[in-house]
Structure 1
């Protein structure tokens, strides 16, 4: 299942336009905040599909029957670019457990790359809802490798993926590899370059959020 959050006009459309805009991108704090906002909207939409239970809550004047989440999800993010989006999810799922994955493109001299996964820190995942955040879904390789690694650590009941911008090629690759994963996108672009960059996309989300890195 793929949900495009900007299919209907909402503030998500405005935030997507701002993270794409080369002039506004110069303000790193605004770039991070817009990713955070997209994460917050995605968190709200995902929360509508999660299971709830009834709970009695004591108020100053009596007892109220309330609905609360049956279980808190696990929020996982791919370092470093995923951190602002992750923060948006965490703002809403503020009692959630968290997982952090270092997955990145290791480039070769011929211009090709492979996905390197160097570090994972995660809680118990067995039969839990896992929400993975990464701002860009380009080829889908790092996401699929991350999901496969997390499945080796446990068997989540559901996996949701939250991205700011996705490419149709990457979506299709994820769906072939992980057909039960639900993908939540701020926007979807059609073109992917030979080097695996989304067009028009927005550039390198990690660099725009945190500064240019040295290629290793």
Structure 2
């Protein structure tokens, strides 16, 4: 898998990540959602550099301009619910993309330190020969990303696969690296070293879904 860790180069993205982590600023849910959205835009822009393009002639009021336009048919798939702001950021840039949505959540069977990933809802167009962008803001254990991709397989074989996350743990990055082929790209804003005993990223930022949309009842 090809890993693109944007934190390795300083940019305005540092500010958005810092605000999402900050225990005071992140209390502003609207700003938290906006920072995830803006991060999605930056990740989408960087991702766009690797897509295929064809030449097109565009008529302007004063003549004809030649330009290169994206030739890929993109399907943008996000994991509900935390993935919605990230999806919006990507969709701001890939506004012609087809869209897919999937619910994947942690189900704790016997204790809070062990869980399985449950996939319940899925809406998706055909993926055959298309470019799949699979977005989940938090890449913790990596199990949700893998489970989601497995659930998408009946919809066809994509031409290429791009994974997009805001913050990941190294353990999660290593896990998905083992389950996706070497042609898959991971676009991520920053990677933290650790997971705690409950599978949350440390230092991370907390529960992205709760911070964006409010606390939920636990399963």
TM-score, structure 2 length as denominator? Answer: 0.96
Distance, in Å, in 1 between the alignment partners of 2:145 and 2:92 is: 23
What CA deviation, in whole Å up to 9, does each residue of 1:18-60 have, x standing for no partner?
1000000110000000000000001111111100001111111
Distance, in Å, in 2 between the alignment partners of 1:212 and 1:72 is: 36
- Indicate if the aligned counterparts of 2:142 and 2:172 stay in contact, CA closer than 8 A: yes
- Indicate if the aligned counterparts of 2:91 and 2:97 stay in contact, CA closer than 8 A: yes
Q: CA deviation at 1:183?
A: 0.8
- The 5 A counterparts of 1:1-216 are 1-111=2-112, 112-180=114-182, 181-216=184-219
Q: CA deviation at 1:72?
A: 3.3
- Alignment length, in residue pairs? 216
Distance, in Å, in 1 between the alignment partners of 2:210 and 2:69 is: 38
- Indicate if the aligned counterparts of 1:72 and 1:93 stay in contact, CA closer than 8 A: no
Q: CA deviation at 1:110?
A: 2.2
Q: CA deviation at 1:133?
A: 1.0
Distance, in Å, in 1 between the alignment partners of 2:72 and 2:199 is: 37
Give the unaligned 5+ runs of structure 1: none
Give the unaligned 5+ runs of structure 2: none
TM-score, structure 1 length as denominator? Answer: 0.97
- Indicate if the aligned counterparts of 2:78 and 2:135 stay in contact, CA closer than 8 A: yes
Q: CA deviation at 1:107?
A: 1.1
What CA deviation, in whole Å up to 9, does each residue of 1:139-198 have, x standing for no partner?
101100111121222101111111110011111110111133211111100101121111
